[in-house]
Amino acid sequence: MATYAAAKAALEPEIHEYLSDDEGEPFAFPEFREDWSNTIVVDNLPKIPIAKYDKLLGVLKRIFAQTGSLERLVMPSEAEKTLGVAFVEFASAEEAAKAIRLTDGYALDKSHVFKVCPYDQIAKLHALAETYAPPEKVPYSPSVNPCSWLGDALHRDQFAIRYNNET
């Protein structure tokens, strides 16, 4: 309470009329979940300017709404262009698996064919180390010769087959 009042007092007087006297509703972080099985990643989308963002978003929503109920569709952008990737969240993991099965390889146009995979697979790739560390070399140990029985000194490995008068 004291920190809110101190922060309010530090502001310019013109801003005071826009602030309320109470601190507002208490903030609670959204529930974190470890399960990303209902989220897919769509790669190889066109990298478009932000002006065309809504049109592409509408096209993607129409395509993925046919495979299941969409919870959220996000296309990240950077420097006024999209990055060519979208994250699609479905209501269930079954719908996400169905969307992967139906839209992987979908041709949006000649040069943009969807590459769709589960988010879990991308998360595994992100968890890899930045630098390559070769695996530890196992010292050589000779194995047992599988043909060692052929070297029998008493020649017990040699035999003859006779059939009628032929050997």
Terminus-to-terminus CA distance in the chain, angstroms? Answer: 107
Element (H, E) at 58: helix 53-65
Query: What is the pLDDT at residue 60?
Result: 94
Alpha carbon 31 to chain centroid distance? 20
Could you tell me which residues are beta bridge partners of residue 74? 87
Query: What is the pLDDT at residue 81?
Result: 93
For the stretch 67-105, pLDDT in tens is 989 999 999 999 889 999 999 999 999 999 999 999 999
Angle CA(37)–CA(39)–CA(41) in degrees, nearest 5?
A: 125
Residue 24 has pLDDT above 90, yes or no: no
Residue 1 has pLDDT above 60, yes or no: no
